[in-house]
Structure formats: C-alpha cells, structure tokens
C-alpha cells in the first residue's frame, strides 16, 4: 500500500496519480507539530503542500519550518510550491455576493490556482444591486467553471446560472444572523436554485468548490491524449 | 360588544371601523353550511364578503346562496361586493417568480383589489432569467407597494427590493420539492434578504401580503384629513 | 456605473435616488479601519452615515474620525447627519414587549428617524399584562406604521394588529432560553399571526423593520407630485 | 398483578385506585373489535368507559355493542357511564382561540367532565380581537383550573395566564398552514409563555389537558380527609 | 393604572391581587443596578422579592443592598422575605433524575416554597436504576403536586405519572450532549408522555414548574371561602 | 464475482458466507413480479427467503408462487424455509411498550428467529405502568440479547437497560402524534438513554434490531471453533 | 426581448444561445394542455423538447400531440428530438446505490444524453457490498463527469470520489424511511463528503445533476475554438 | 437498598451484580471534589473506578488522590484498577474514519478494555480512500464485536457492516463543520445504514459503544455455565 504512516495521520502518496492532486491538509483540529509533520512528508513526496483552516499558531509553526511558505491571512491558507512554475490554464471565476464572503471566496480561488487554474475574483456583486453583477456579464461568460459564494439569502448563484453556459458551483457561507442559521438559509436556497447546472458544496467550503472547479477547468484534451 | 354570535363563529361587526376592512372568511376547515352562514352575516352588515381557501363544495354552496358571487378557480377565492363600485386607487404590483406561483399571486392581487387598491400582476419573472424582470423596472418603480411571490430559492424579493423605493412584501410559496421543505427554503431566503425594506409573510399567505400592501397603498392624506 | 470602489467595499452612490436612502453600514464583520473608510465615503457623497451593529472598537474609531458622530450604546448604532435638519414627519410607533427587547426596538426607532420619520417608543407592554398595552390604544392608532418587537412567545404583534388599521411590522428577538431557540419561537408565532396586515423581518432585525416602516410612513403625496 | 390480559391489550384494573380514574381508551390504531373488547372489560370492572380518537367504524361498533353509549362527532369521543350520576364539582374552564380549535377544546372539556369536573367552554376568543376575551375576565377568574386551546401563533394562554391566579394548561393545535408546521409554532409559543403558571401538553392533546385540569380541580379536602 | 415605572422596567403592583404572587425578577439580562432598583420597588410594595437567574455581580449588588437577602448559589436565586413567616402548607414534591439536574430542581423547590408551599426534594432517582425511585412511592403519593426534573431521555415524569393521582409538572433540562440538542430530546419525551396528567414547561424552567405546582398546592377551600 | 444479476436487482450469493445470513428482501418499492423473481433466486441458492414490508399484492404473488410460504399479516413479512429445521438456540427477548408497537416488535422477533434464535415476545409493558415490566425481571435477565420497542416518549429501553447485563437494542416506532414527529421523539430519547449498553436503530426498523440481536445471540464458541 | 409569451408561461427562446441548451419543461404542476402548448412552442423554435416529472395524463397528451415523442415510464420523462442525430461525445457515467434509486438515475442519464453526452448507467452498487463497486473501477475512471445517486445513508459519492480524478455530482434520493427524513440524511452525508470534488444537487434532482455533468462533459476545445 | 448516598450522588453498589460492571463516572459537570468522592467510594467497593469526560482540574485532583490512577489525555479518561489483572478475552475492534475521530475511538477502546475485552484500534481508514480499509478485511472479520467511529458523512459503518458477520456499533462524532450540524449528518447516515446489523449510539458516545461491544464480546458460555 502506498500509504505513509505518521502515527497521527496516514498520507496516501498515490493520491496524486489517482485523483490528480496530492492530499490537501485540513488544518482544523491538528496541532502545530502535526501540521509540520504532514507538510514535511508532502513536501518530500510532492515538493509542495497546501493547508486550509490553519490557526495562528499553526501558521507560525509552518512559516518557521518552511520560510518560503506563503501565509494567506484572510483565508487562513498556508501553502508552498517548490516545483518550477507551471502555466495556469483556462479560467475559474470566483464571484462573491458580499464583503464578508471574501475569505471563503479567497479559499476557493487559491485552491483552484494551486491545482493549475487561472483564476479571477469578483467581489461585492450581490443581488440587491443587480447592475453591479450585470456589468460583468462578459467576464462571467468567459470562464470555464464558476464558483459563486454567498451568505444570507444565497441568491447569487441562481442569477449567475441564468447568464452562463458553464457549470456553477455554489458555496453558501455562514455570513448572516438570526434565521440564516449559520448558513442554512443560503444552503437551502442554492439547493433549490431554479437555474439548471448549479451544484452545491457544504457551508463555507471554499476549498471543495475551488477543487471541483479546477477539475472541470482542466484541459480534457490533455487528459485524454 | 359588537359581536354577532353564529354558534360556530363570532363575527366582529366593528372590525371595519377598527381595522379598515371587514373580516375576511378563511374557508379552510369550514363546512359549506358554515361558510354560507358567515357570508350571509357579512353581507347583511357590510353588503360584501371575501372568502379565501374555499374548496369545491364550499364554492358551490356559496354560488347557490349568492348567485352574484364571483368564484376565482385558480386562487380558490369566492367574493361578493354589492356596494356601488368605488374607484381603485394607487397601485399594488404583484410579481411572481414562476408559473406555479400564480395561484398565490392571484390571491394577493384579489385581496388588495377588494380593499380598494388598483393592482397589476407580473408573472414568470424569476431570477434565472433576470432580463425578464429588468424589462419591467419602470413598472416596478411605479407601485406604491409591491408583493413579490416566489417558491424554490425565493430570491426574487431581494432583486426587486434593490430596484424600488417602496415597501416590498415577500410571499414564500410551497412550490418546489426535496430540500424546499414545503416553502421553508424560500421563507428563510426572504427573511435573510440583503435588500432593506423587505418584509415577509407566512408560506402561501397571499391574502396577508395583499392585505398589508393595500393598507400601505391607501391614501394617507384621506385617512388623516 | 455609479459605484465607488474602496477595495473592501463598493459603494453604490446612486442608491439614494433609486431606493430613497443612502446605503446603511452593516458594522458586523468590518474592521474599524474599514468602517471609517466607508463612513468617510458616505459623508463625502451624502453628508451623513448610519452604521448598525458597531462593536466597541469600531465605535471608538468612528468617534475619533467624526467627533460629531453620535454613538448609541444600547443599540450599537453610530450615526452622523451634517445636513440642515429636515422636519420629521408622520409617526412610526415602536412597541416592545419586554425590557430585554429594548435594544432592538431602539435600533428600529433610530433607523426610522434617520429616514425622516417622527418616532415614538413604547416599552414593556407584553401580553401577560395586557392592560398595559390597552391603556395606549389611542397612541397605537395614531401611527402611520407600527414596529412591534417581541421575544419569547412573540404574541404582541397579533394583539396590536387587531387594534389598528395601519401596517404592523413584527420583529422577533432572540430574547429567551431553551425552546425559544434563539428567537425561532417568536419568529414562527409572528409568521402565523391571526391578525391580518402583520409582516415579519428576521430575528433581531430592528434596522429592517425601521426601514420598512419609514418607507410606509413617507408622505405619498410628496412622492407622487 | 391486577392486570387483565385481553391478548391485544392488558388492562390495569387497579389504576383507578392508584391514579383516580380508570384507563381511558386511545382509539387510534385499534380495530373496532379491539375497541369493543377493551370497552367491555372496562364496563365490567368500572361500569364505564371513555374512548378518544375513535374513527367512524369504531364508533359504529361501540354504539352497536353499547346502545347507551354517547358518540361525540366533533371530538371523536365515545363514552358510557352507567354509574348513578355523581355531582360535578368545581369548575374547569376551557377557552379556544378559533373556531377550528373547537374539536380539541371539546375533547378537553368532555375529559374533565368524565373525571367529575363541572366544565364550561368559551370559543372563538383569539387575541386578534382581544376585547372578546376581556369581556369574560370574571368568568376566567372563577375557574379552579383553565385549559386554553390555540393553533397558529398560540398566544392566547399568555394573555389568559396574566389574568388569573389558577393554573393554565395550554394545548397547541395543528390548526394553521405553512410555517405553523402542524402545530409546532403554537407549541413553541406556549412553552415560551411570559406568563408564569402556564404548562403545556402535546399538540392536539385535549385529553391530556382535560385530565390534568380535572386532577387540579378535584376537591383536595376530600382526598386528604 | 397600578403600574410603577422605573424607566427600564414597569412594575405591576396589582399583580399579587390578580395572580396571587408579586412579580418575580428574571435576572438574566439585567444590570446589577437595575436588579437593585426592581428589588427595592418590590420590597417597598410587598416587603419581599424573589429573583432568578442572577449572575455573580447581580448577587453581590443585591446582597450589599439587602444584607438580609439569601443567595442560593446552586440555583442562582436571590430572595428576601420580611413578612412575618407564614406556615407552609400542603406538599410540593420535586424529584430530579440526575445529579446535574439539581440546580433546576432547586429553582423549582425554592419558587414553590416562596409561594407558600411545603416542599421536599428527591434527587438522583433516574429510570436506569428504577428501584431507587420505587423505594419512595409512598412519598411521591403524599404530594399535592409534583415537579419532575430530567435531562437526557427525560423518562422520569412518565414513570412518576403512572404512580400518583396528582398532577405532574415535567421540567426538561439541558443536561446531556450530542443528540440531546440542549434539552430538546427530554422536552419531546415529556410532551409525548404515555402517562396522563403530565404537563410540561420550557427547558430548564424550574421557576415556571415550581410556580404552577404551588398554584395547584394552594388550599382551594381557603380561596373559595 | 458471486453476484447474480436479475436486471432489476443483483443478488450477492456469497453474502451468507460473509455475513452469516443470506440477503433479506426489502419489499417496499418492489413490484410483485420483482419480489417473486428475487425470492425464486434466493430459494434456488439458499432454499429459503425472508421478505419484509411486503404489501398486499406482493404477498398474494409470493403465496401463489410459493404455496408453502408463510405470510405474517401484522408485520407484513413473507417467509419460506425449506431446510430441515435447525434447533433454535439462545434467547432473544423482544419487549414492546404499547399495543401499537406490536407490528414492529413482531418484525424483530421473526427476523431473529429466521436467523436461528429462540425468541420471546413481551407486549404492552410501557413505563407508565412500571409494575407490569418489573413482574418480568427474571425473564428479561435470561435473554442473551434484548430488543426493546417503543414509540411516544421511548423510555422503555432505559428502564430495561438498568435491569439486565446483556445488550439492549432499542427500536423507536412512529407510534404517536403531534410532537412525536413520526418517531423522532422516541429516537432522541433512546439515543440519550442514561443506561449504558443501549444501542439504537432507525425508526420502525424491527428487522435491523432483530438481525443485530440474532448476531449477538449466536453461540460464539461454535463460530470460533 | 426574445421571450415568447404563452399566457401561462414565457419561453426564453434565446436561452440556447446563452446557456447551451433550450429550456427543459418541468412537468409537475402543469396541466396536459399547458404541457402540449409549451412543447409545441419549443418544437417550433428548436425542433425538440424535453419534459421531466410528467404525470400519466400529461404523457398521454404529449404522445397524442407528438406521436414520435418517447415516453420513459420509470423516470417520467417525455422527449422528442427531430434534429438529425448528432454524435454523442465524451462519457457521463451515472452510478446508483440501490434498485430504488433507478428512476432518479435514469432521469440524470437521459438528461445528459439529451445534451449530447454519451452516457452509461451502473446500478445497484451500494457501499454495503463494496466489491460490486470496485469491480467497475476502470469504468468509473473513464468518465469525464460522474453522477452518483444514493438514498438512505448517501455514502456512495464519497467512495467514488476517492477513486476518480473527475468531478462527481451527488444526487440524494428520497429512498428510505424513518430518520431518512425524505432524503435529508443522504443530502447531509453528501454535503459532508470527505472526498474532494464532490458537489451536490437537491433531493431527487436527477435532471440538475445530468445537466451539470453534460456541461462538464462538453468538449471545451470546441467551445473555445 | 444497596445504595450509598454521598449527598451529591447515590452510588448503586449492586450494579456490578445486576449489569456486570460497576458504575462508570460521567465527569462532565462534576467538581473535582465530587469526582474524588465518587472515585473513593467506588475504589472502596470495587477496588477500581473509570471516569470519562474529566476536565484538567478533575484529572489533577484524581491523580493527587490516587497516584496510581492513569490519565488518558486524548480521550479525557481517568481510570484505576487495583484488582489482580484478569486476562483480556475475545476481541473488540475499534475503527475510526479520520484522525480527528481518534479521541472518541480511544474512549470506546479503553471502555471495552476496562470491561475485560481485548481491543485493537484501527485509525484513519475513511471511505474516501477505501483501499486503506480493505487491506484490513481479515482483521475486521476476526473481531467478536466492532465499534466504528466516524464524523462528517458517517459512511464507514455501512462499508464495514457489509464485510463482517458480527455486530457493528456505530458512533457518530461531532467532527465536521457547516451542514454536519455537530454530528447530526453522521448520526442520520448511520441510522439509515443499508448494512444490516449496524446499531447506533449518541454523537461522541465512545463510552456507550465500547460498553455495548464489551457486553457482546463476553464469553457467553461462561455466563451461562
């Protein structure tokens, strides 16, 4: 079995072959020491790591162990890539409804980029000021895959879905209060979208959306040849 | 006490003075005989009645008792008004997201009209084809009060709320399946609307929305003079 | 596009034309620096700003940047208006069921006032001591629009709705414990109100209720002439 | 063990000694033959039976087996009492908010009466027309125990609880639609009542409320002497 | 109106006449100064006060203002009664399933005692060791009213209800974890009790249960004579 | 692969080796023809079949195809076993709280028996008449595994769990109304049982409980030798 | 506006240009006459129509109006395509966990095919017999996009997601009982999938999943050239 | 009664006879002093104690009072056993889906071991890398009882249940975010498992699962001889 056992974690070193991307590190609930262990093993095998939901202490430990790692404060991502840079391809467009949705949107964009996609981020284009969104219709239509991030009433993916001919991945966020129930209102709205082609990930799961968008974005011709 | 006791119901004959409109009859759960009794008492006092959620048997009984009553099949309303017709004033605009939301929208429009409002109905303007709505921006802005009806993801009121300077009353409908939970998804979306000035009524409560819109629409000058 | 881009936020400078009131600032989740940035842009365009849900640090920063701003501790609102004072018109009456509902009630009242309404606040008139409310029946009936704030069982809007002929906007609050589920019990009660003309906003959304009430309160004649 | 085993049911013949009232028969889910069997055993031991939630076929079977049984159509109760009639004592007052709550209210009143209480029924006194209730304040205050039945927003028990010095047992009903969730809205409202002394039973459980009220109503002096 | 207005609170000084007990003070959400204000007003009118859910600071302030007040640490109650002591009458028995339910049970017992009832407390008699409860059957049957407190599966009231002929008031507590959902599991179990005569109050509402039990316990003969 | 493909179903013929029992047939949602097809394939491989949740038409079709099959009306099970009868071993005791829980209890008992367990059924021993249960304490303690079935408040497994030293498998049933929410109240109560050793299956899943109990009941010595 | 207004519906004739596929007809809630109207308009503009959730009467009406339409009984789809057949490209693989999930799986497969994808269907490969799935690993890895359909515990998408490097669209179904809550259990499981690249659609929404998969499957080269 | 009353707790000293294991101590909500008291009483009667959910202060107090006690940091268990060591028998295998499920898995394993079972722990074998689990098939099949621990989508028990012929006890954990709702998603998945023989305990209840598994694991021959 191509599994590397670190005691606290087992790293599946063949995953890149099977799924096209090495394991990402889910930082929540890991100690700084564990994070560094896992990151070191990944760097050995793949010359890179990509960790999400990293707390302050974890980020400090990673930066100390890997001085060339990049820490993204807003989205709590720490990443390192020592490979010679590959060109980014295609386009994953990430649109966010409100300012507070920015951290999740950034998580999606950084994930997609780490998987080789060219990405753009379009913020603060919520539906209560619909003209802000419509002004970017052409840009929306130029993407191979779109990630649409929204909290509160979660309406943005439905509007975007009606404007484009490519898949829209909707990310509900926990932005809101009262009857938003920590993102449930947005999640339900997105699952009930009247626009065909909209699929949904878990609340605040920017990583999952960016990952799926990058899979879609990859050049199929390359894969099949 | 200005209460008329019919045994099965007590009719509050002073309600028109206090609330500006006589009691409407909630048809659900009343027998045809009870419906006719209540309608007769209202006609005696007010020369009109307005009944919602009337089933087939109830409608037949009312039509037999009041041959000049009007039966609205789609919205299950039966109404009669023997007063000399008063001019309709102002404008309550009712917008509905999908074809299936039409019955609830009609309930709202007929209610508002029965309370003296001029009304217009704009159907099938859901957010997945946003240009259909935007084509009517001027019409939306001409209303004194708006009722916006939507099932599924319930996004329409947020978009409308960003286009107008008058109150928007949002009505979630039970149109949908699966995670729409009988209208809960739309209800939550509307309660979390990012557009200010949107207020919400119960699922499928076209009557309540039309009633509130007509209250808003009434000429304040008249009332205060 | 009449949008001013601050990086972290885009300010819609035409919103006052379209919706009758410039953008309010939702303080939750904004840094003190962001709050000051947005407030400054609004003051430049509109000579005023109105910020809700402002934390202690944000309030301090705003007060430092705008020494003439007013900080309302109880409702966490910070506001500034440098226009020559316009007369307040009409009447928005805000009624609150319990002492603990006072902060939300104040948010509603200050919002309505900032939009030009004359406002009154009637506190601690919950339904378990119904005579306290009935003693104010005339005052209730003198308002053009009413905001009714209640937590726990959320019964007050139903009683008020039966006493007046003007729209009642119900605000559930998160006051309560156990099976109040953070305001859900009150929210459901208000959505199921047996009084016609009651519409509802999100839990603790005093701002939304005050906004809608002020829209209703505005002199229609003025608008239409 | 003082248990009589009928195969499909075991009848606890000492229950009257232990709990003050023989077993009532819960008719839902029993076949007509089973109902008759149980009723016959109860009549043998106690010269009476009291069955709730009896369907049409069950009622017909019971009437055939016991021609002197009484069938209450509205509340689906079938009862027989062949003891020499005992005087009814005290007063259990049952108040119902709306016409549709009448069946549950009748179930409560008949149950209390079967347990020896004098009962009165006060219908259609919902909170949206509060003066209807207040007109009966003296009557409310004359009861030893009160049962208050309401669907929709379930506000009536809170108002009654503030008017009396005796226990109020609140019964939520499944009357309503949409966000009433089959009585959950009323149930939550009652559990969160701001009036002290209000206790609650299951949705539509008129039997349980009438039973508890009759226990309270019983003359304590008698019991203790 | 017999209302004393303190600004932050309105005290209903006639409540004792109407409801048999002066207003209790709900301490949660009140500042220490407000608590002292309200307590002082109550002492002036009634020579006593009874405050629940009082935090550490509030308790210290009350103790300073009223050195003869009693602070109950476990149940967070602060009380004072300067009347000449009245004899306690009847018996309210409070039974608690687990050790952790003790604070709520004490709140119920102290409330009932403050309203004039003799009370007993029976702790740690949960259903998984049923013989512990059965050993106290006689004691259970000697009470005029019973309060039964339980978290987790909330089964105790059903067992007790089958053993006694007096009303059982069930109090679900938030004791538990995971699928107890903060007391919801116990609340639902109690609402669905198969024992007749069980009524329910809100989660952790020991005050409400003790209040209702004391109302039941009061000597009816006295009241009616 | 030891899979037999019938088009509409794939039968895993090695399952008996792997899991100790051939596939049971879940009758819900299968046409009578499909049921007969699957039953025939199972009889060919294993000389027996065991089908649950079989409707009237399905039962008729199975009886016609297999005249020696047995139809259990109450629990909707149809079964056939043409092997020479093996002795039943051990003891699985199935206890049911109320008469209406009988169908689910029978499903559990028949399932356990089909897997080789000796079974006994103890009905109508709910906790509101606790002495009925305690009279059978010895019998409860003689079982190798227990299945305890209850609707409404679901309290019985907790009491049984405190009386025995063997595993208790709790089955919530959908018996109840209102706040039983189709068995959710009983399910939550069982998950929160204060008695150790209680595990839970889905609502109305008598089959799963009987299956697990029979697995536990099997003679381990036999298996391991 | 390129909208064709049929009274009951507005057909967006430019949708194919904008979104790559003409409007599909959602049959639920439409009368047979309305269905035929809409289908006729679509055939005129696009020479084809594709209708989902069509009841028996609707299907009969469509077949009468369009004798060359195809009716798919299991998935309730009626479709017609009069264009010269285009070659199907790529591969969308649809995998279903259980026999009962077949109708939803067929809806997904027919939708994808109607949008030009080559499709394969792999049924009855649920996780409780994991070897059935693993035997098809190569086939799973050959798809450009995968739709994975499952009810009950909804675990299949997580397993599939770990085996492939292409996007997995998970469809929860309402297959199950009790605590499946009409598909909610499966929906939540899929939203919480530990496999990256899994996105989710509404319960039973085979159409949405097939639509999104076909969008992904389309040859990007073609689109961009 | 064989109950030892400590004031704050009553210790059932006959429980070991009745249930096969002395009372375990649920540490949550007990003060350090109470913990020590209970532990001391148990050590006197049984020469051992086993405490779960012990906080830092409680652990320190226990270690001071019983220097030979063992503190397990990860699972928050403190235990002491002064009996001459008995041989561990059988095999309870505990499998955990993810690294974060390890604490709950350890709680289950330590509980089973304290009850005399030989135990093994298999971590990080979640379904998104199914080969990691399958590599251990033989080990899974060698256990007498299995505990399977998983958060997020909770799929692991279904896969394991299809591989073994012994009972599987599933433990949902609160590991996850967003729509995992604190473990509810995993709980529902497990209750709906398509694998027969899977039973479920409360969220994070490793103790209950380990306890039930150890009961199953015990040598029945010994018990019955």
pLDDT in tens, H90-107: 999 999 998 889 899 999
pLDDT (tens digit per residue) in F128-160:
888 889 989 999 999 999 999 999 999 999 999
Q: Do chains C and E touch (3 or more CB pairs under 8 A)?
A: yes
Helix axes G184-191, H184-191, angle to 10 degrees: 130
Measured between CA atoms, how close is H180 to chain F, in angstroms?
17
More confident residue, E213 or B131: E213
Is a pLDDT exceeding 60 seen at residue H206? yes
pLDDT (tens digit per residue) in F157-216:
999 999 998 999 999 999 999 999 999 999 999 999 989 889 999 999 999 999 999 999
Checking phi first, is residue G183 left (phi over 0); if not, alpha (psi -120 to 50) or beta? left
Nearest alpha carbon to residue B92 among B138, B146, B137: B146
For residue F219, what pLDDT is reported?
A: 66
For residue D99, what pLDDT is reported?
A: 82
Residue reference for tokens 């910070």 = C78
For residue E215, what pLDDT is reported?
A: 93
pLDDT (tens digit per residue) in B193-219:
989 889 999 999 999 999 999 999 986
Residue G152 · residue F29 · CB < 8 Å: no
Is a pLDDT exceeding 60 seen at residue D222? no
Q: Which chain B residues touch C196 with a CB distance below 8 Å?
A: 19, 21, 24, 207-208, 211-212
For D174, name the nearest residue in chain C, comparing CA atoms only. Answer: C192
Contact D99 B204 (CB under 8 A): no
pLDDT (tens digit per residue) in E68-122:
999 999 999 999 999 887 788 899 999 999 888 989 999 999 999 999 999 999 9
Q: Which chain F residues touch E98 with a CB distance below 8 Å?
A: 194
Give partners of A (≥3 CB pairs < 8 A). Answer: B, C, G, H
Which letter does DSSP use for residue A185 in this model? H
For D53, name the nearest residue in chain F, comparing CA atoms only. Answer: F177
d(CA F102, CA F112): 15
Q: What is the mean pLDDT of residues A103-116?
A: 95
Tell me whether strands B145-150 and B168-172 are parallel, antiparallel or unpaired: parallel
Q: What is the mean pLDDT of chain E?
A: 91
Residue F129 · residue F158 · CB < 8 Å: no
Is a pLDDT exceeding 70 seen at residue E219? no
**pLDDT band for position E220 (cuts 50, 70, 90):** low
> Which of E90, E207, E212 lies at the smallest CB-CB distance from D167?
E212
Contact D99 B9 (CB under 8 A): yes
d(CA G62, CA G70): 9
b/e burial code for range A110-126 (CB count within 10 A of at least 16 → b): bbbbbbbbbbebbbbbb
pTM: 0.94
Is a pLDDT exceeding 90 seen at residue G178? yes
For residue C11, what pLDDT is reported?
A: 80
End-to-end Cα separation, chain B, in angstroms: 28
Is a pLDDT exceeding 90 seen at residue B4? no
Is a pLDDT exceeding 90 seen at residue C15? no
Q: What is the mean pLDDT of residues A28-35?
A: 87
Three-state secondary structure call for residue B174? coil
For residue D1, what pLDDT is reported?
A: 60
Is a pLDDT exceeding 70 seen at residue B61? yes
Residue reference for tokens 């309305």 = G34
Is a pLDDT exceeding 80 seen at residue A20? no
For residue C5, what pLDDT is reported?
A: 78
Helix axes E56-65, E32-46, angle to 10 degrees: 40
Give partners of B (≥3 CB pairs < 8 A). Answer: A, C, D, G
Measured between CA atoms, how close is A77 to chain B, in angstroms?
29
Name F34's Cβ contacts closer than 8 Å, sequence gap at least 6: F8, F9
Using CA atoms of F133, F137, F143, F144 in order, give the dihedral in degrees to the nearest 10: 110
Q: Please, which residues bridge with residue H200 across strands?
A: F200, H170
Complex prediction ipTM: 0.92
Q: Which of D10, D11, D16 to mutate to test the interface with F (most CBs of F within 10 A)?
A: D10
Residue G159 · residue H131 · CB < 8 Å: no
For residue F202, what pLDDT is reported?
A: 98
**pLDDT band for position E222 (cuts 50, 70, 90):** low
Q: Which chain D residues touch B6 with a CB distance below 8 Å?
A: none
Contact G29 B178 (CB under 8 A): no
Give the range among A17-21, B119-123, B176-180, D29-33 with minimum mean pLDDT: A17-21
Q: How many residues does chain H have?
A: 225
Is a pLDDT exceeding 60 seen at residue B221? no
Measured between CA atoms, how close is C17 to chain B, in angstroms?
8
Is a pLDDT exceeding 60 seen at residue E225? no
For residue G221, what pLDDT is reported?
A: 54
Q: What is the mean pLDDT of residues A214-225?
A: 72
Nearest alpha carbon to residue E198 among E207, E209, E206: E209
Residue F113 · residue F86 · CB < 8 Å: no
For residue A1, what pLDDT is reported?
A: 60
pLDDT (tens digit per residue) in F26-41:
898 788 998 999 999 9
CA distances to A166, A173, A189, G27 from A183, rounded to whole Å, are 25, 5, 10, 31
Task: Using a pLDDT cut of 70, give the percent of chain C over it.
Answer: 96
Residue A145: HSE in the Cβ half-sphere, 13 Å Cα cutoff: 32
Contact B203 D135 (CB under 8 A): no
pLDDT (tens digit per residue) in E162-172:
999 899 999 99
For residue A22, what pLDDT is reported?
A: 80
Residue F208 · residue G128 · CB < 8 Å: no
pLDDT (tens digit per residue) in C168-225:
999 999 999 999 999 999 999 999 998 988 999 999 999 999 999 999 998 665 555 4
Q: What is the mean pLDDT of residues D29-37?
A: 89
Give the range among A55-59, E149-153, F86-90, G117-121 with minimum mean pLDDT: F86-90
Q: What is the mean pLDDT of residues D199-223?
A: 88
Q: What is the mean pLDDT of residues G194-220?
A: 93
């Amino acid at each position: 079995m191509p599994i590397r056992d670190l005691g606290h974690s087992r790293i599946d070193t063949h995953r890149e072959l099977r799924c096209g991307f090495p394991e990402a590190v889910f930082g929540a609930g890991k100690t700084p020491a564990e994070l560094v262990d896992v990151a070191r093993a990944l760097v050995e095998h793949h010359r890179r790591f990509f960790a999400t939901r990293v707390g302050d202490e974890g980020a400090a430990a990673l930066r100390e162990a890997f001085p060339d790692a990049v820490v993204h404060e807003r989205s709590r991502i720490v990443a390192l890539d020592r490979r010679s840079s590959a060109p980014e391809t295609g386009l994953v467009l990430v649109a966010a409804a409100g300012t507070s949705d920015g951290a999740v949107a950034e998580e999606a964009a950084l994930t997609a980029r780490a998987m080789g996609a060219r990405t753009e981020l379009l913020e603060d284009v919520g539906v209560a000021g619909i003209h802000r969104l419509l002004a970017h219709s052409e840009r929306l239509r130029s993407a191979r895959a779109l990630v649409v991030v929204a909290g509160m009433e979660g309406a943005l993916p439905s509007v975007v879905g009606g404007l484009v001919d490519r898949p829209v991945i909707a990310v509900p966020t926990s932005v809101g209060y009262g009857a938003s129930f920590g993102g449930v209102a947005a999640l339900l709205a997105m699952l009930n979208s009247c626009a065909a082609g909209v699929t949904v990930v878990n609340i605040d799961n920017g990583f999952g959306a960016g990952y799926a968008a990058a899979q879609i974005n990859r050049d199929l011709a390359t894969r099949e040849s």
